[in-house]
Amino acid sequence: MNFLESIKVAVNCILQNKMRSILTMLGIIIGIGSVVAIVSVMQGGQQEMNKTLEKFGTNRLIIQLNWNEWDKITSRDYLTEGDIQAVREMGEDIVAVSPLINYGSTAKVGKEKEDLLIYGVSPEHILIENIEMVKGRFINDDDYKSKRAVIVIDEKLADKLFEEEEAVGKQIVITAGSQNNTVTICGIIKAQDSALGSIMEGNRSTVYMPITTVNKMFYDDYLYAMSVKVADSDKIDEVGQKIIDLLHRRHRNENKYIMQNLTQAIEQVNQFTSTFTLIIAVIAGISLFVGGIGIMNIMLVSVTERTREIGIRKSLGANRNDILIQFLIEAVIISLIGGILGMLLGISVAYMISSLAKWPPVFSIGNIILSFAITTMIGIIFGVYPAYKAAKLDPIEALRFE
């Protein structure tokens, strides 16, 4: 029989039993809905993490004092300018090294007030982080050596503080403890949006100043951390360990330095993601199975209800395949409609979750095709038995059925 005709018959039949069909689809709707929602939110999260990774840089490494054993740290363990130089000279594994310190602070311009996260760095830092200058310049060697009161801020902060006005060259007041310091903006960098980043940094704007100036401002001459860019991100752990060994040799101590990079964080996130995916897959699997059983049930009811119709069709020349296909198509269409409704539900739920999670969901064509494929399969798998039952009905008995 005509394929199109079968689809028409199936759609009519579903429309005639709307409520029943919707209830039947519920399992599929929930199954597909939860998969679509969770997968798209997680893919959104993954994308967000990649953005953060890009910002931080996958070949970036922070070496710092082992504050886990802070009580054992003495002044001879602190890092020195000489350490930085020694690391720089380690060889081609190292691309750039910068001392690093950060302080929370506030910036004031007139009545405007903004929370800041000040990074004290050396000019070399621009090679380590993926910083893109929009205007002006990054801090330079003169700033560094002369402990100049200059600051590099991002576009967003510039917009907030000065709106349309030119920000480079303007002065802002930043706090260091109870003291106020006036600093001059020497450059503007591109703002890097990242939800994970903003979770780590709070709602503060990241700004950069010469570490020498920062140390002077905060009355702290010690160096606790350095930021390193390595040539090969695959060898990041190895190079990090080499640096730590070097520092231990130089300071004749042990267990005083640790490294921080994103590999551990990534592993943790990946593990969480795969555990979560497994849980969702099980839940979705169960509800899809229940949904499939629902379809099988309703199709068996439909076959019984329409026994006479089957007899009539057979008497008019329908063969087993015609009947089989007709009922299979009906099962697949119920399943597919359930799948589409489920996708719509999943997409809305994904947006709801995402508005809480602060990152956008990602809907990939692949997932949508996969959802369609799964629902089609469910329709076929659970529709085949009822359809087979219909197909093998004896026409005479079917015609006699009341």
Partner 1 sequence: MIKTKNLTKIYKNGSIEVKALVDVNLHIENGEFVAIMGPSGSGKSTLMNILGCLDRVTSGSYVLDGVDVSTMGDRELARIRNRKIGFVFQSFNLLPRITALHNVELPMIYSGISARKRRKKAELALEKVGLADRMHHKPNELSGGQRQRVAIARALVNNPAIILADEPTGNLDSHSGEEIMAIFQRLNKEGATIVLVTHERDIALHTRRIISFRDGSLVKDEPVTKPVDAVDMMAKLSDMKDKHNI
Binding site for partner 1 (CB under 8 A): 1-2, 5, 12, 16, 308-309, 311-322, 395-396, 399
133 vs 396 by CB, closer to partner 1: 396
125 vs 314 by CB, closer to partner 1: 314
The answer to whether residues 291 and 26 touch, using CB atoms and an 8 Å cutoff, is: yes
Minimum CB distance to partner 1, residue 18 (Å) = 14
Minimum CB distance to partner 1, residue 326 (Å) = 10
12 vs 241 by CB, closer to partner 1: 12
**Residue of 190, 136, 139, 142 whose CA lies nearest to 168:** 136
283: CB partners within 8 A, 6+ apart: 34
159 vs 322 by CB, closer to partner 1: 322
- For the CA atoms of 52, 58, 59, 64, what is the dihedral angle to 10 degrees? 60
Cα-based angle 267, 270, 274 (whole degrees, multiple of 5): 140
**Residue of 381, 295, 370 whose CA lies nearest to 335:** 295
* DSSP element (H, E) containing 152: strand 150-154
Token pair listed for 386: 């009822």
255 vs 319 by CB, closer to partner 1: 319
91 vs 317 by CB, closer to partner 1: 317
Minimum CB distance to partner 1, residue 321 (Å) = 8
Please report where in the chains the tokens 């070097």 appear, as a residue.
246
Minimum CB distance to partner 1, residue 2 (Å) = 6
270 vs 321 by CB, closer to partner 1: 321
Cα-based angle 168, 173, 175 (whole degrees, multiple of 5): 135
The answer to whether residues 399 and 309 touch, using CB atoms and an 8 Å cutoff, is: no
Distance of alpha carbon 252 from alpha carbon 81, whole angstroms: 17
Minimum CB distance to partner 1, residue 17 (Å) = 11
Token pair listed for 316: 């008019």
20 vs 55 by CB, closer to partner 1: 20
Minimum CB distance to partner 1, residue 401 (Å) = 11
The answer to whether residues 305 and 364 touch, using CB atoms and an 8 Å cutoff, is: no
Token pair listed for 241: 């360990």
Distance of alpha carbon 308 from alpha carbon 296, whole angstroms: 20
Minimum CB distance to partner 1, residue 8 (Å) = 10
Minimum CB distance to partner 1, residue 380 (Å) = 22
259 vs 299 by CB, closer to partner 1: 299
The answer to whether residues 384 and 328 touch, using CB atoms and an 8 Å cutoff, is: yes
Phi, psi (5° rounding) for residue 80?
-130, 170
Minimum CB distance to partner 1, residue 324 (Å) = 12
